[in-house]
A and B are shown apart, each in its own frame.
Chain A
Amino acid sequence: MATRVLGIGALAAVAGATAFALFVVPADMNQGEGQRIMYVHVASAWLAYLSFGVTAAASVWWLVRHDPRADAVALAGAEVGVLFTAATIWAGMMWGRPVWGTYWQWEDPRLTTTALLLALYVGYLLIRRLTDEPAQRATRAAVVGIIAAIDIPIVHFSVVWWRGLHQGPTFISPDTILSPPAPGQFVAALLLMLGAFSLAWLWMMVNRYRLARLEWEGEESARRGRLPRLAAPVPEPRS
């Protein structure tokens, strides 16, 4: 019931934030209408980082405790993170064409490391399909989930460390948004979209976690159904 309310709330919030971003906030003086794409781009990017951070933390949790819930959280983070990374890249391309004059540039460190991030977590999801044994799969995935997380700070700080097309980070510090002072409506649209997407993210994480738990339980009960026959105790010979 609570998840259903969350889902309806997320849907309404995303619809409201989208209407605000598209039809209430004025167009940017320099970037024109294309600026509106930034609201979904930044919100998606932030949630992609969060998702993969959750996957890394849950991967450590699995390796330490071997708790199936940890593997379910890690899987939820990776799958939802892939979705939001794809949304980030797509939104960035749609913004880049009118503003930069190109959809993509491989020489740009932010773009290339983000594409690598997407590839790493698609790889994470593919590695999970290599084995049907839940514990072995979770361990392999946890190792990949931790190694892949190294790319998160590289993506974020790539615009600080190297020169490229992409502008500086939006969320490195609050004064980056406010200085030079951005019009209040722009900041409000960004924060509204971030809040709305966060609700949608939470709904997806909860439901993907539940699905992963059901899948794990299904696999375990299928294994238990097979194992008794294989592991049935051999009757001792009567003397």
Chain B
Amino acid sequence: MIDFGAVGDLAFVVSAYGMILGGIGLYAFSLGRRLRRARHATSAAPPEPPADRPA
């Protein structure tokens, strides 16, 4: 068992908050980046050929 010392003191609780909020923040940041990339890829894609023109 890993011993973190004084579990349950305020420093322990603050570090637990840091990990939880840090994880959520990291996901939110990565989601924003994925969305920007997807938008960029969509806007950079060449226009589709007209449906009546043979490929």
Interface of B is mostly: helix
Segment of A49-57, A137-145, A167-175, A202-210 engaged in the interface with chain B: A202-210
- In the bound complex, residues from chain A placing their C-beta under 8 Å from that of B54 are 228, 232
Tell me the bound Cα distance from A157 to B9 in angstroms.
31
Instruction: Report the interface size class on chain B.
Output: 20 to 34
Checking A37, A83, A218, A225 against B16 with a beta-carbon cut-off of 8 angstroms, the contacting residue is: A37
Total chain A interface residues with beta-carbon distance under 8 A = 40
With beta carbons under 8 angstroms apart, the residue of A87, A207, A214, A221 that contacts B24 is A87
B31 lies within 8 A of A204 (CB): yes
Of residues 4 through 52 on chain B, the ones whose CB sits less than 8 Å from some CB of chain A are: 4, 7-10, 12-14, 16-17, 19-21, 23-24, 27-28, 31-32, 34-35, 38-39, 41-42, 45, 48-49
Residues of chain A having any CB pair with chain B under 8 Å: 7, 14, 18, 21-22, 31-34, 36-37, 40, 44, 83, 86-87, 90-91, 94-95, 97-99, 200, 203-204, 207-208, 210-211, 214-215, 217-218, 221, 224-225, 228-229, 232
Interface, chain B (partner A; CB < 8 A): 4, 7-10, 12-14, 16-17, 19-21, 23-24, 27-28, 31-32, 34-35, 38-39, 41-42, 45, 48-49, 54-55
